[in-house]
Structure 1
Amino acid sequence: MGDDSAMKKVKGKAKEMAGKATGDERMKSEGRTDRAQGKAKGALDDAKESAQGMRDSLKNKGDRRT
């Protein structure tokens, strides 16, 4: 997971808890949105990393055949 996605999730959790403590539904909602964006960014980063690994693996297999 990237630092950006982790920070977004932490920021979202903080907003959500602050909104819950103060009764501010908008802040609570913004916090949930930030957390969801952080999770999505993390999943995207993981998928990119996995695709890069697969590409490198296939590239290395091709190099061995020649």
Structure 2
Amino acid sequence: MGIGESIKGTLKEKAGDLVDNDELTAEGEAQQTKGDEETRESKDRAEAKAHEEKADALEQQQEALED
């Protein structure tokens, strides 16, 4: 998941810096970016679901008032 990818990426980046391996450093940076995007996507999806649930509840209230 997102945060796990970010942590693994950070570790790879630091390991690459430690052993002077530019490829490992770049891989770690890319993995961090991927993790950050996954985290953002999960958050956005949760917010969208909450909005949908709120809209459904308001629609049910409206239908109940119309009856």
- Regarding TM over 0.5, the answer is yes
Counterpart check, 1:53 vs 2:44: no
Selected match of 1:25 from 22, 25, 29 = 22
TM-score by length of 2: 0.92
- 1:6 Cα deviation after fit: 1.0
Counterpart check, 1:34 vs 2:31: yes
- 1:65 Cα deviation after fit: 0.9
- 1:17 Cα deviation after fit: 0.2
TM-score by length of 1: 0.93
State which structure, 1 or 2, has the greater radius of gyration over its C-alpha atoms: 2
Q: Deviations over 1:19-59 (max 9, x none)?
A: 00000000000000000000000000001000000000000
Unaligned runs of 5+ in 2: none
Aligned to 1:65: 62
Task: Note the aligned Cα RMSD (angstroms).
Answer: 0.5
The percent of aligned pairs where both chains have the same amino acid is 16
